């Protein structure tokens, strides 16, 4: 499904070409990737399943998981010159956060890359491809200033019933380890009228799930006239007619009581929150410049559970921050035991050039210790997840069907956000369920990561 303002001309610049894309990183990049797909298809290119079949390969990258990606792109070099269906060389484009941050040097390490673009000039990608085709010259273009929101660009939604709705971009928090503020720039909120208009349109288009998007959605509106608050955006979304509303990401220091109240006030706002903790030690939280204590975080969890008793919480944790001792790691283990999360994103600390901690703190936890601590925290989480899941057996939940996988349908409950791979599996058993439709299902069995269920009724809606 491709939508947008671009009028399709009789002859489009990429007619007859194929594209393949690979995306790394957070929901920002997922949203950008859907826009890239929309633009390429509006320009005439057709998606293909493998890079070997593609005339154009687009990598949307992330700086936090940079090394794995660079390795992958290095491997891509080996198929760069394998001719495609037109006996031509494949065009390789690198965008996203690494594209933005390392535009000047990327082609030195990866000379086979033809196009480098950034996070602020997604809309120029087709022009850059055209220039590459007509001149044969590599094209590198990034711009520093944020030139607005991607909502006006054409889009190919990965799940046609789900839309990302950017409400702010950038981040002003400068957590000491984090590269994002240097890549995505300063916080910029989208006017509330523009968000309201998009939400109204989405609902009438038949979009059933929406995720409000920003690096720190809780600080929405600080830079706008009248200082609208995030709770107002939530109220708008809650009443927009869209059935399932979620939002990412929340910073604990900016999560206000009125936001929690809005979450509780609307059935359409899902009982699910990603609230990054990062560390279970006050000393490390201070060194990370996170501006809250473990006690304050626990207080928020208490408030959230009081307002939304069945809320599902997930978090991010960084293991092996400079100076992390075994005792500080133990504090984290105790924390996750006392405050069980439904999901943990665990990252081993990596030094990001130019950040405060890279400049001033020594990355002194050995890799082996980091690796072992990641394993230990994941083992603990596995037991917690199994416990949480077993408690859900016997319940009936409303699920949306995401995909068919072998003999199962992969579904999500109200607790699962769209970027989660799989949650509730329903045996197909000869039935045909429709992607993007809602059904009632009873949970019949649980494992650490997956739940199994059976339908209790025919198609819901």
Transcribe 308-336 into DSSP letters: STT-EEEEEEEES-TT--HHHHHHHHHHH
Among 216, 219, 250, 357, binds ligand SF4 (CB under 6 A): 216
The C-alpha atoms of residue 411 and residue 432 are separated, in whole angstroms, by 13
- Is 229 a residue that touches ligand SF4 (CB under 6 A)? no
Among 99, 118, 181, 453, binds ligand SF4 (CB under 6 A): 181
- Is 254 a residue that touches ligand SAH (CB under 6 A)? no
Q: Return the sign of the alpha-carbon dihedral for residues 122, 128, 130, 133.
A: negative
In the complex, what is the shortest distance from the CB of residue 374 to ligand SAH, in angstroms, rounded to a whole number? 11
Of 311, 239, 231, the C-alpha closest to 273 is 311
Nearer Cβ to ligand F3S, position 123 or 201?
A: 123
Produce one character per residue of 263-302: b if its CB has 16 or more CB atoms within 10 Å, e if not. bbbeebbbbbbbbbbbbbbbebbebbebebebeebeebbe
In the complex, what is the shortest distance from the CB of residue 426 to ligand F3S, in angstroms, rounded to a whole number? 32
- Is 164 a residue that touches ligand SAH (CB under 6 A)? no
- Is 150 a residue that touches ligand SF4 (CB under 6 A)? no
Q: Which residues pair with 163 in a beta bridge?
A: 210
Q: Which residue is nearest to ligand F3S (CB)?
A: 25
Among 125, 180, 270, 275, binds ligand SF4 (CB under 6 A): 180
Transcribe 65-123 into DSSP letters: THHHHHHHHHHHHHHHTS--TTS-PPEEEEEHHHHHHSTTTHHHH-TT--EEE-SS-GG
| Alpha carbon distances (Å) from 45 to 37, 128, 160, 279 | 9, 14, 19, 45
Among 158, 316, 328, 363, binds ligand SAH (CB under 6 A): 316
The C-alpha atoms of residue 331 and residue 281 are separated, in whole angstroms, by 6
- Is 62 a residue that touches ligand F3S (CB under 6 A)? yes
Nearer Cβ to ligand SF4, position 150 or 240?
A: 150
Nearer Cβ to ligand SF4, position 239 or 293?
A: 293
Nearer Cβ to ligand F3S, position 29 or 381?
A: 29
The residues binding ligand F3S (CB under 6 A) are 25-26, 28-29, 62-64, 97, 179-180, 183-184
The residues binding ligand SF4 (CB under 6 A) are 171, 173-175, 178, 180-181, 215-216, 251
The residues binding ligand SAH (CB under 6 A) are 26, 64, 177-178, 180, 215-216, 249, 251, 276, 278, 316, 318, 347, 349-350, 352
């Amino acid at each position: 499904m491709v939508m947008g303002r671009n009028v399709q001309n009789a002859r489009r610049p990429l007619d007859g070409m194929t594209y393949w894309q690979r995306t790394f990183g957070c929901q920002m990049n997922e949203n950008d990737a859907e826009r890239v797909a929309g633009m390429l298809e509006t320009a005439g290119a057709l998606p293909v399943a493998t890079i070997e079949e593609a005339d154009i390969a687009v990598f949307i990258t992330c700086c936090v998981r940079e090394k794995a990606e660079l390795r992958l792109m290095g491997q891509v070099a080996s198929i760069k010159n394998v001719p495609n269906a037109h006996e031509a060389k494949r065009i390789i484009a690198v965008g996203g956060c690494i594209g933005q941050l390392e535009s000047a040097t990327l082609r030195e390490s990866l000379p086979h890359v033809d196009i480098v673009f950034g996070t602020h000039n997604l809309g120029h990608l087709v022009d850059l491809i055209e220039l590459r085709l007509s001149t044969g010259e590599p094209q590198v273009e990034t711009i520093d200033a944020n030139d607005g929101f991607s909502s006006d660009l054409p889009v190919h939604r990965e799940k046609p019933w789900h839309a990302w709705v950017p409400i702010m971009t950038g981040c002003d928090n400068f957590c000491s380890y984090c590269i994002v503020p240097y890549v995505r720039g300063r916080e910029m909120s989208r006017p509330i009228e523009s968000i309201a208009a998009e939400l109204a349109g989405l609902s009438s288009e038949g979009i059933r799930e929406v995720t409000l998007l920003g690096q720190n959605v809780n600080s929405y509106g600080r830079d706008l006239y009248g200082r609208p608050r995030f709770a107002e955006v939530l109220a708008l979304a809650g009443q927009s007619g869209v059935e399932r509303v979620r939002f990412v990401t929340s910073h604990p220091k900016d999560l206000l009581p009125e936001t929690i109240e809005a979450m509780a006030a609307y059935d359409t706002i899902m009982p699910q929150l990603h609230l990054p903790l990062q560390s279970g030690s006050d000393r490390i939280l201070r060194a990370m410049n996170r501006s809250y204590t473990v006690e304050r975080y626990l207080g928020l969890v208490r408030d959230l559970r009081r307002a939304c008793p069945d809320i599902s919480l997930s978090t991010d944790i960084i293991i092996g921050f400079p100076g992390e001792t075994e005792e500080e790691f133990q504090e984290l283990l105790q924390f996750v035991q006392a405050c069980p999360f439904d999901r943990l994103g665990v990252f081993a600390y990596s030094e990001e050039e130019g950040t405060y901690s890279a400049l001033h703190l020594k990355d002194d936890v050995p890799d082996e210790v980091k690796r072992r601590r990641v394993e230990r925290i994941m083992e603990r989480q596995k037991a917690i997840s199994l416990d949480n899941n077993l408690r859900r057996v016997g319940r009936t939940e409303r699920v949306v069907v995401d995909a068919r996988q072998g003999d199962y349908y992969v579904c999500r409950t109200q607790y699962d956000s769209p970027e989660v791979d799989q949650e509730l599996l329903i045996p197909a058993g000869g039935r045909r369920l429709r992607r993007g439709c809602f059904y009632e299902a009873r949970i019949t069995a649980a494992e650490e990561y997956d739940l199994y269920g059976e339908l209790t009724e025919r198609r819901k809606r």
